[in-house]
Chain A
């Protein structure tokens, strides 16, 4: 099995699992009246998911480029920063400070300028501060959104 076919099979398998779970819950949970519409939809969901999985296993499903190793390697650091930022840090240390840190980290991670370049660090810092100032004006002053301030800001 080629890498692309394997990827398509895994992705289709995950969708099939979700469809199976939705169908199982729809047909086993009570009250039945509340699950009438979910049952109707889950029938189509599971049929399509099985069809899609069969196509992937047989190598017919070729739509979608899949993910190559280089792309995945490039995405991983940013993805980790996003997950840590949103799920672990934003609420506990405050939206504005954590956003500024996440912005700076992502900018630095994907900025082609060398890490040893002092000027580039200065630029990153200025851009981050300016961007966060705009965000503060927009959300705190204009829209008056009360964001979690956490232990800091």
Chain B
């Protein structure tokens, strides 16, 4: 119950204002189609540079939580999911809105998001210290394999093609090696002066997540049809709360599936929402009503995608393995403040860790309150024309990446990586494993180098890195993540082939 003693930090004026601002801003950004939670958090990181680590993490955590929930607004009112996590919400949410029940759909969405989110954060609170203590037993070889596991898990599970996912991870690892070697001072892969200082995480994050979205907006051209939002007549919040209590089954399914999926690194909110939606439909006596504006669909999907947020931080805060792409960006936000996840975080920076986690708990409540009362307002902002969004994100990316080290080199790197990532994404490569490679590369390398030095005084590197129960277990996990992805790719390919044959 250590976390209880750090609740005061959340209510310090600056911290609470940041929590409030992050929540409201996140709701608006989440509601804006085309602006993903990952990009929103990446664009916010430069602002946290000027804050204390605790304040910075509070802002990022609030934005993470509320962008996922805010995405439901555009899913319900515009039938455009604000984030991939809200795809399932659009199925019933928009149908409800068209039936004149938009307010009820929004109420149910935020209430179930809040309940799922609170339970998810409670899981984070109780699981994290246990895993962090377990991580204390890790030596350099284990930490090396953990970092490699982080890249392979995200690379193989977060991508449609496991070869391209792993290749993206390799590109990220290579990018992390650019610059001067920490131990010997040797130059590595410095092709131009802008790369002499290596690739800073923040400009890279901004470029990799923001620029491809700007270019996606460009790709739509000038003929963007105006997005029409459905009018939302007022409805009683109390009735919606009663409705929620009548749908405890869907709420439980969403929360349980969201929490479990959140803990699995790399799976993410999109899967959580869709799996929970599917399971809620299977267990419902009103299966046929799903997709026609059935409240159970919204409740299951929204409770799942927010229940996923807390548990997705468990492997991040304890083992440096992010549970989702947005959690990967949060890892970057931690590292720029010199804080490394694991036992170091809870032993040496307990105030940072617990105040951040507590703020996510309070943030869920704020998200429900502000979500319900600002949803229709947020939907209006969400209709901001695409050209304005594209131009604004581009300028923000420029200022954000420059402000980190006041370096034009960072800006050039940001844009180059962003343009490159856009084209890579078009061919099935993925930004999340690339970012993971970039973030975990230095951790993997420093543990590999130190482990190699230690191994010379022992039985040699082969024995040091490849033997021992924990090493073998971690190596098995690395291979299992790759093998599972290979198997699921094959199954998917066979299913597609069968469908094509059936169609012809």
Contact = CB atoms under 8 A, between A and B. Distances in A.
**Co-complex (A, B):** yes
Interface of A: 7-8, 11-12, 15, 18-19, 22, 25, 29-31, 33-38, 40-42, 44-45, 48-49, 51-52, 55, 61, 63-67, 70-71, 73-75, 77-79, 82-83, 85-87, 90-91, 95, 99, 102-104, 106-112, 127, 131-132, 135, 138-139, 143, 145-148
A143 B400 CA distance: 11
Given A29-B188, A36-B449, A102 B218 contact: no
A48 B170 contact: yes
Given A15-B171, A63-B159, A63-B160, 17 more contacts: A19-B170, A34-B183, A37-B177, A40-B448, A41-B174, A44-B170, A64-B429, A73-B221, A85-B398, A86-B415, A103-B394, A110-B224, A111-B387, A112-B224, A135-B399, A145-B399, A145-B402
Contact of B394 (A34, A38, A102): A102
B426 A33 contact: no
A37 B449 contact: yes
6 contacts: A38-B177, A52-B164, A75-B215, A99-B395, A106-B390, A131-B388
Interface in B382-425: 385-388, 390-392, 394-396, 398-399, 402-403, 406, 408, 411-412, 415, 419, 423-425
B362 interface: no
B167 A111 contact: no
Interface string B426-451: 11110000000000000011001100
Contacts of A29: 186, 188
Which of B221, B395, B429 has the most C-beta atoms of chain A within 10 angstroms of its own C-beta? B395
B339 interface: no
Contacts, number: 191
Contact of A67 (B47, B159, B423): B423
Contacts of B444: 37
Contact of A61 (B161, B183, B415): B161
B170 A45 contact: yes
B232 to A, nearest CB: 26
A127 B160 CA distance: 39
B4 interface: no
A25 to B, nearest CB: 6
B222 A111 contact: yes
A83 B415 contact: yes
Contacts of A35: 186, 188
Contact of B415 (A11, A87, A99, A135): A87
Given A35-B188, A52-B167, A74 B403 contact: no
A123 to B, nearest CB: 10
B174 A106 contact: no
A143 B47 contact: yes
A36 B47 CA distance: 36
Interface size class of B (residues with CB under 8 A): 35 or more
A143 B442 CA distance: 29
B131 interface: no
A18 B171 contact: yes
Given A15-B167, A34-B184, A41-B173, A103 B217 contact: no
Given A25-B189, A49-B167, A87-B412, A12 B398 contact: no
A95 B398 contact: yes
B448 A37 contact: yes
Contacts of B406: 145-146
8 closest Cβ contacts across the A-B interface? Answer: A64-B428, A63-B428, A34-B186, A110-B387, A78-B218, A74-B221, A63-B161, A64-B427
Contacts of B173: 41, 45
Contact of B425 (A30, A64, A75): A64
B219 interface: yes
Contacts of A74: 218-222
A82 B166 CA distance: 30
A145 B219 CA distance: 32
B191 to A, nearest CB: 10
Contacts of A66: 426-427
B166 A79 contact: no
Given A18-B171, A78-B218, A82-B415, A11 B427 contact: yes
Given A41-B177, A63-B160, A139-B403, A7 B411 contact: no
B183 A131 contact: no
Nearest to A10: B427
A108 B385 CA distance: 12
B184 A31 contact: yes
Contact of B167 (A48, A99, A103, A139): A48
A99 B217 contact: no
A49 B426 CA distance: 17
Which of A19, A40, A71, A86 has the most C-beta atoms of chain B within 10 angstroms of its own C-beta? A86
B164 A107 contact: no
A38 B174 contact: yes
B170 A147 contact: no
Given A49-B167, A91-B408, A22 B427 contact: no
A63 B395 CA distance: 31
Nearest to A34: B186
Interface string B220-237: 111110000000000000
Contacts of A99: 395, 398-399
Contact of A45 (B167, B183, B215): B167
Nearest to A139: B399
Given A45-B174, A66-B426, A110-B218, A103 B163 contact: no
Contacts of A52: 163-164, 167
A99 B184 CA distance: 41
Which of A106, A127, A146 has the most C-beta atoms of chain B within 10 angstroms of its own C-beta? A106
Given A75-B218, A78-B218, A86-B398, A110 B386 contact: yes
